[in-house]
Structure formats: structure tokens, C-alpha cells
Structure 1
Amino acid sequence: MLQNPSTRSVVILGVVSVMNSLFNRIVMTKFFFDYPIVILMLQMAVTLFSIEMARLFNWVKLPAYTFHRGKDMFLPSTLYALSSYLVMNCLDGIAMPLFPPIQRFCPLAVVLLAFYTQKRSLPSRQVLLLVGLICFGGSLSSFYEISIDVWSIIYGIAAVSMHSLALVLIERLHENYSNVLDLIYMNSFNCLCLFLVADLVQDEIRDAFMYLITSMTMLFIFCFLALISLGVFFHIAIFYCVTQTNSLHASIIHNVAGALQIFVAYALSVYLFYDLAPSWTNIFGVFICISATAAFYSARHSFERFIDMKIPNGGSKYYMVGKS
């Protein structure tokens, strides 16, 4: 099954997403390294440096970055950077309890945005129902505190809208840039520039440097390096999944991983809140999310209508998801 590139991309994204979220929580809530711009900046810098080294030694064949090429990726990069910052800044919903549940509606947002912005036909009612159940289950699994906060709703809707639209636009760009590494290259460059500009306002680099001087330990160094590495892999994995499958599959797998990582973190004593354990409501939400996802992929023939981009041999590459 994993020999299929589409299936492999889904599995890789799921595993990396869980691990990345886990180390995000460890570094930002256990070590109190609350500098999301610095973390994201370093992840993009490492990605960009790695690709440039690969280009230098002719390990990969990529054209150099130019502003003419980079402008095609600028809007998706801006949306991706902003949504990533909001997600990390509102990590776990500690300050904004409604933020994580709203984030779980990303797959439904992808379907709607693809319909309105890319003029795709809507999938069947069965698929819409399953996608809705995946979102509802994921939202329920992340709902830990009943607290109506207007700003958490605003930030949540903004983040899920930007992330969903970024995935849809990246998928569309893949028609013009067949090499996924080229998309990652341009996105890394654009996002790095955006985070550098953002730091001029937030001034996180100075604060992060002071933290490293006063509070750095070997355990923190290990976790921090793991977070940077996993962030790089997550960036690659989500682009790989979008281009090998589509934006809907990428958002669904990310959604399931988001529901599961809470329980992985709790099992490893990396609590969501410092004294709050998952309830039966959260467990029920995970069950709904996983069951709906399993039903979605078992009925893969029914969502073929969602796809309108064909590969040269006349078939749909997304149809291959779930096949052995």
C-alpha cells in the first residue's frame, strides 16, 4: 500500500503532523519558549538553506528564485504564513478555548473554497456528510472548555479560512509548477521574508536570544532541534500530500492528526492544560472523526467528482488514494 505515492503522502503527513504538534506543545508550553515567529522563521530558513545546498551541489535541478516566479506563490505563502503564526500563537487554545475546535473545520472550508474560487462542482451528499462528520468529530475532540470569546472565534475563522485557501491555491499552482520541490522552495523564501518583516514589529529574535542565554538546557536544545526538524518535514509533507492527492485529503489527514495528537500528548504527560485530562466528550469526538475518515476512504469512488484536474493519461491521480 505504501508503494503508492498518494497513500504514502497521506501516511507521512499524518505521522509528521502528530509529532510536530507534540513538540510544538513541549517547546512552547513546557519550556515557555513562546516565540512562534522565531520558530517558524528557523524552520523556513533551514528548508531554504537545505534546498540551496542541494542546488549548489547539483543534487536537485531547480531554477533560482526570482521575484517574477515568487510572485505566483506570494498569496499562498502569505496565507500559509499568517495561518501558521495564528495556530502557533493560539497553541492548544489555552488563551482562546474556541480556536482549536474552529480549526477542525478546515476540510469543509476547503470544499467550499474550491467550489467558490476554483469553480469546482460540489461532491456528492454522501461525501459532504462524511466531511462534515470528520470536522464535527475533530472539533468535539478539541473542545475542552466552554468559554465564548469573540476574539477566539474571529482568530479561528481567520486562521481556518487562510489555511484552507492556501491549500487550494497551492494545489492549483501545481498545474503550472509540476515539481513540488519548486513550490516548497518558493514558499520557504516568501515565508522567510514575511517572518523577518514580522519580527521587525514583534522583536521576537532579541527576546528569544535572551531566553537562550538564561534558560537553555540540554533537554531544551534537543526538543528545540527536534521541533525545527519536524517543522521542516511538516512543511514538505503537507506540500507533498497536496500535490500527490489534493487539498481536501491533506486537510482531512491534518484534521485527524490534530484530533489524535491531544491524546498522544496526554499519554506522554504533555498536558493540554496543566491539570485537565481528555473527557469522554473528547474521546467520542475522536471516535467520530476516525470512523468518518475510514468511511470516507472506503467510499473513495464517491468523491471522484470533487476532482477536476486530470493527469496526462486521462485519469485522476487523486483516485489512487487508498488503493494498494
Structure 2
Amino acid sequence: MRKSCLLLSVFLMSYLSCFAMGNKRTPKLFGRIVGNTSWVDHDTGEKFVIEKPWKDGHVFEGILSPDGKSFAIDYGVGPIEKTKRHELRILDVQTKEETKIWENKYPFRYSWSPDSQFVIAAGIGNHFGYVIVHLKSEKIWKIDFKRSIINGYGNPRWSQSGRKVIFIAESNNPQRSNALFEVDLNGMNFKSVVDLPPTTSQEVLSPNEKLIACSRPDDNLWIFDIETKKLTQVAKTRQFESFPFWSPDSQWVGAQMTTNFQGPYDYYLWYLPTGKKRILHIPYSTFTFQWWTPLTEPPVDCVKIVEEMLGEGLPLSELE
């Protein structure tokens, strides 16, 4: 009798274990997958695109604001193959009206503040660092960097606390590898958070600021864990896995499959807890895909934080 009870217990434990593993399902896609000035909403099924008669150029890149009301776009003047200059513009989703912020010979690197009131960008003016632009007042503040510390630097991430800027840059270490840096809005407390393995590129920090998606010379997608410093390959697809992007909950990572360089393009989305993937068929390529969801709580007041940490700004017209 005791032996029968033991066997029954083992059977039930095995059954429940298998049942639990089988129930670890890959969830449905959610939110908006945004590319340039269009999106597909997986919650509502909406397919949205802003079609304007941009006769003198093209949208090089577009990023939707956290409140969903505006795009910050890098507009390339001239054909894609022979872009004459780049213009940083704000495009209203509803009215389709555009406001030009600045123009530059090279592409901009930029992002939004958590409260959608500012854009922070590199490539504005002739200085080494970032510029914060308050869109309503057109006031600006500069964050200058020392060339002795870093070389080139990538897209800035305005922290959710509203007080720091996080970015990836090329270190002046012997390996000249990239590293994750952070700095206060006022330019103080500049520090390296972690060095990345040599030969990484196209690095994108996860929303929870714990992981970095990147590419390597094998053209595959890799994940770097900031705490453990472990580098893990996501999948071996035998394709070029480019332009990685994250879901808002940091559970999904995506990349463009570029076997066919003429398009249409397949975008693979991997759910990291299970390793399962979804495939999106997109008729065009973009350097920056954005996975966007509506704000669930009020963001920090970046206007108040900037006033506290940086004081009165300068008119945009005074920037050289």
C-alpha cells in the first residue's frame, strides 16, 4: 500500500510538472509596432500611416512620443542614395503639421523625455555632446562631453527618473570597445556602467535597463546581461539579424531578417522566457523599430526637473 502511494505521488508530481511546462505559453503580441511614421496596433488591429507629399526627401527615422501625440523624425532632404542634409522635425500625429528644430549634414541621434515635453539629441550644433530642446518654448540646454573619455556616442536614453541620460559610446580603453555610460542632466557624475564585449554593434538597451541587444561579426542577434556580463546568442537563423528592438516589458526582442535586401522584410520577434518566435512581414526597412504602449501612470515632470537641475535655458537660435 505504501509503495502504491509513493508511485502515485511520483506520477502526480511528474504530471503536474509537465502540465506546468506545457502551460508556459508564448503570449500574444500587444501594443504598437512603430516604424518611421506608421504603426500596426496589435491590441486594436489598427494600421496607421502618415502619408504626406514629401517631395523633396524622405523620412530617415521616426520615433513616437510617450504620449502618442507626436513623432520626432529625422528627415533626409534629397533621395535616399544622395541625401543632402538631415532635418530634425516634430510631426503632429493628428494635424500632420511639422516643426523644424535643426538641420545637420549627418543623421541625428535622439529620443524623447518621459513626459514628451523635450527631445534630447546629438548632432545639433558644433559641440561634442547632447542638446536638450524644450519643444514649447524652444529653449535649449547643452550636455558637453570630454573627447578624452569617449569617442563616438549613440542614441541617448532619458532615464525614467527624469534625472539621467543613458547611452552607449566607444570607450577610450585599449580595446576601443563600446560601453554603457550614464550622466546627470547637468553633465555631472559622468561614469561608465559596464564595458561591452569587443566587436559588438547596433546595441540597444532594454526598457528595464538590464539587458542589451546587439549584433556581432557573425551578423546574429545577441543579448548581453549587464549584471552577469554574460553574452548569449538568441537564435541561429543563418540570416543577417539587424536593427534590434525591445518590447516595453523587456520580455521580447526583435530584429530584421535581411536575407533579401530588396524587401519585403521579415521581422522576427523572440519571447525570451520560452525562446519562441513570431514573424512580422513588413514591406519596408527602417533603422529603428519602436514597440510602443500607452502610459499606464503619469510620467515624471521633466519640466520641473530641468528647471531644478539646469536652470534657465538659451534660445534655440543662439546655438551654433
Higher relative contact order (CA 8 A, sep 6+): 1
1 or 2, which has the higher helix percentage? 1
Which of 1 and 2 has greater Rg? 2
Q: Same fold (TM over 0.5)?
A: no
1 or 2, which has the higher strand percentage? 2
